[in-house]
Amino acid sequence: MAATHLDRWAQWLLHDRHGGDESSLRKQLEWLAPVRDKILTEASVGLDDIVLDVGCGEGLVGFGALPLVGDSGRVVFTEVSEKLLESCRNIASEIGVTPRCRFVRTPAETLAGIESGSVDVVTTRSVLIYVADKAAAFDSFRRVLRPGGRISLFEPINRRYLALNKDTLFGYDIRPVAEAAAKVRAVFESAAPPDGSMLGFDESDLLDFVERAGFEDITVRLELSSSSNTPYAGMPWSKLLATSPNPTAPTYGKAIAEALTDDEAAAFEAHLRPLVEESAPGRIRHSVAYVSARRP
């Protein structure tokens, strides 16, 4: 599958989130595995359930649900990216679970093509941050759920993340190159305005959306964490420059080239490259929210 034929969602998930560095990808998947498990646990996924994984991506949550629903259960994978749906179809075929899967290309705001009252569980992982009309998405979640159906969602709270990591990049102190770092940050900020889908909400807004959509037994849990396991430690600098923090953002290499002069870029690299490539001690803070609720 040539990168030139990928939409931005598939391009990021299949390449730009790790820059082609397999070690970095493994590290990301190791971090995401307990996230997946928590989503499924909070949803009380069980035998015979029909699980709808909205914005399924590479299928992490959906394929994780299949063993829990058993032979008579089913998982519906939805995506706006046909390439990612194709990837999930291929995985399902390879592991022999296609008869228990359904694949639908549809946006979270409408879930067109999913019948009302047809599923037991709706899950998302890092999906609503890209959805402009989050209220419509929650209304769609409620529509497709049967009475008593559950939602279990995981969303980064990027507004808090930026504040918590304002003096770091890649988990490393950038105060020695603060002026250059501010210019690089400005490039990313232009791609994610404060009132946009990624930054224009927090955990309180999620609570409001769930309430207004008519759910009950609502729990919204904010988790702040601090880790010395920096995400790109040991990664070759050239591959780090080929990564981007999300599908709507440029790669770090493009942002640096756009923001800095050659001399500024050289000083920026001279500070950060040894820290990254030599896996120097660093620290990164995370801000995420888990949401669970029940349709009456």
Q: SS3 for 172-239, per residue?
A: EECHHHHHHHHHHHHHHHHHCCCCCCCCCCCHHHHHHHHHHCCCEEEEEEEEEEEECCCCCCCCCHHH
CA distance readout (Å), 2 to 5, 15, 16, 252? 6, 11, 13, 21
pLDDT at 1: 37
What is the enclosing helix (H) or strand (E) of 120?
Answer: strand 119-125
3-class secondary-structure state, position 85: helix
What is the enclosing helix (H) or strand (E) of 155?
Answer: strand 145-156
User: Tokens for 187?
Assistant: 């490039």
Q: In what order do the strands lie in the sheet with 216-227?
A: 101-105, 74-79, 50-54, 119-125, 145-156, 284-294, 216-227
| Residues facing residue 151 across a β-bridge | 122, 293
Angle between helices 203-212 and 134-144 (to 10 degrees): 50
pLDDT at 6: 84
Q: Among residues 248, 249, 266, which one has the least CA distance to residue 257? A: 266
Buried residues in 128-144 as b, exposed as e (16+ CB within 10 A): bbbbeebebbbbbbbbb
- DSSP category for residue 84: H
Domains and CATH numbers, the chain: 3-294 (3.40.50.150)
pLDDT at 3: 41
Residue 248 CB coordination number (10 Å): 17
Would you call 171 exposed, middle or buried from its count of C-beta atoms within 10 A (0-12, 13-18, 19+)?
buried
pLDDT at 169: 95
Q: Among residues 50, 67, 72, which one has the least CA distance to residue 117? A: 50
Per-residue pLDDT of the chain (296 residues; tens, 9 = 90+): 334 478 999 999 999 999 999 999 999 999 999 999 999 999 999 999 999 999 999 999 999 999 999 999 999 999 999 999 999 999 999 999 999 999 999 999 999 999 999 999 999 999 999 999 999 999 999 999 999 999 999 999 999 999 999 999 999 999 999 999 999 999 999 989 999 999 999 999 999 999 999 999 999 999 999 999 899 999 999 999 999 999 999 999 999 999 999 999 999 999 999 999 999 999 999 999 999 999 99
Sign of CA dihedral 136, 141, 144, 146: negative
Cα(132)–Cα(223) distance, integer angstroms = 23
DSSP assignment string, 10-74: HHIIIIITTTT-HHHHHHHHHHHHHHHHHHHHHTT--TT-EEEEET-TTSHHHHHHHHHH-TT-E
> Residues 169, 245: contact at Cβ < 8 Å?
no
CA distance readout (Å), 213 to 128, 141, 156, 161, 247? 15, 9, 21, 27, 28
pLDDT at 5: 72
